[in-house]
Structure 1
Amino acid sequence: MSSITIVRPDPTWAAQYEKTAKVLRGILGEVVTRVDHIGSTSVPQLVAKDILDIQATVSSEPQLDDATQLLVEADWELRPPRRDHAVPGLPSDELQWVKRLVVEPMYRRRVNLHIRVEGRANQRYALLFRDYLRAHPDTAAAYGAFKRQAATLPIETVGEYADLKDPVCDLIYLPAEEWAARTGWSS
């Protein structure tokens, strides 16, 4: 039995994000250039784990650690990994995939906060993936069907679930890049 639970879309996820983003902006101040709702909970009508994924963007590598330190001081917990998977066809330079992952203080709303550097491949990936799924509800529905099926597999950790999802997300992302070029998409 899988340790992953996928739930129906919650119409309050956007409001929950706004409330959490306000707290994050209060903690991080000018260290971040933006805070965005990403991941499945940011896509209307998409099933998801009931965990908000949020991306905090910083303008430079040293600010990754500055932001992380501010969050740790506010009782957020630093977690692995310290990088995202490299996507076929995108830059393979390690710096393009560096991030910090922190989770909410104990007894608070579940949040995975991904801190990434502005303009890097992984920062763009999260935003373009979200926007592509928002603009393509049939693709989002197919992705949701995959997630529901994956959650029935004997997966023991969230890391195993992420490893299973990564190539599927890449299959969505690659046409998203073509869509972005065709439409003039900008984050």
Structure 2
Amino acid sequence: MEKKLSDMTLEELWMLFPIILKEHNPQYYDWYEDEKNNIIEAINGTFISRINHIGSSAVPGLIAKPTIDILLELSGDCDIHQIILRLKAAGWTIMSSEFEPDLNLVFNKGYTPSGYAEKVYHLHVRYLGDWNELYFRDYLIEHLDIAAEYAELKVSLLKGFENNRDGYTEAKSEFILEHTKRARMCYVNRYTPNKTT
């Protein structure tokens, strides 16, 4: 009998789900749209302020983990516990949850006891805000030279961090922060919520 994911240690999970980088797949956009529609249906469209495809799979031509990252932004008056229940009922597994100081939930789909499914998703749930991921994505899309540098960095880190997701993420953080800062200067207030809504 296969061991449940919930019974595995972090090290076992990292071995089962190594970092894999693949050339950009144009189907990522269709996978995002399909899952976006599933999310809207699951929570009845209620309290959704904005929903976006983020991460490397949202950037044309960028080598990426074959994972669709989705940022779901909710209005502050939602019943977050109802939203969580509805997402779980739709097949999402909650991986981490922070409610204070800001809402930050991470769900996933596509992780099985025998490894990755064909389609893998990460769903980041937050209240409507001015999130760095949106700026970084746009900056990579509009600055192909920076996207190429980012691709080189990711490939260079793969060997040392193939089975250490946290280390891989941490090793990219300086690059991401530097270029997110530039993006915020370039796209001042692009994603700042309208305070009247």
TM-score (norm 1): 0.80
Distance 1:159 1:81, change over 3 A: farther
Structure 1 residue 15, shift from structure 2 partner? 1.2
Task: Report the equivalent of 2:119.
Answer: 109
RMSD: 2.3
Structure 1 residue 63, shift from structure 2 partner? 4.2
The structure richer in strand per residue is 2
Counterpart of 2:136 in structure 1: which amino acid? F
Q: Which 4+ residue blocks in structure 1 deviate beyond 3 angstroms?
A: 61-66, 105-108, 184-187
Structure 1 residue 31, shift from structure 2 partner? 2.9
Given that residues 161 and 167 in structure 2 are in contact (C-alpha distance below 8 angstroms), is that contact kept between their aligned partners in structure 1?
no
Deviations 1:34-81 (A, max 9, x none): 221000000111110001000111112764443222111222100026
Alignment of 1:5-154 (within 5 A): 5-28=20-43, 29-60=45-76, 63-80=79-96, 82=98, 95-96=101-102, 98-104=103-109, 109-119=119-129, 121=130, 124-154=131-161
Unmatched 5+ stretches in structure 1: 84-93
Matched, 1:169 2:176: yes
SS of residue in 2 equivalent to 1:171 = helix
Length, aligned pairs only = 170
Q: Which has the larger radius of gyration?
A: 2
Given that residues 43 and 134 in structure 1 are in contact (C-alpha distance below 8 angstroms), is that contact kept between their aligned partners in structure 2?
yes
Counterpart of 1:26 in structure 2: which amino acid? E
Counterpart of 2:165 in structure 1: which amino acid? V
Unmatched 5+ stretches in structure 2: 1-14, 193-197
Given that residues 47 and 78 in structure 2 are in contact (C-alpha distance below 8 angstroms), is that contact kept between their aligned partners in structure 1?
no
TM-score (norm 2): 0.77
Given that residues 97 and 106 in structure 2 are in contact (C-alpha distance below 8 angstroms), is that contact kept between their aligned partners in structure 1?
yes
SS of residue in 1 equivalent to 2:73 = strand
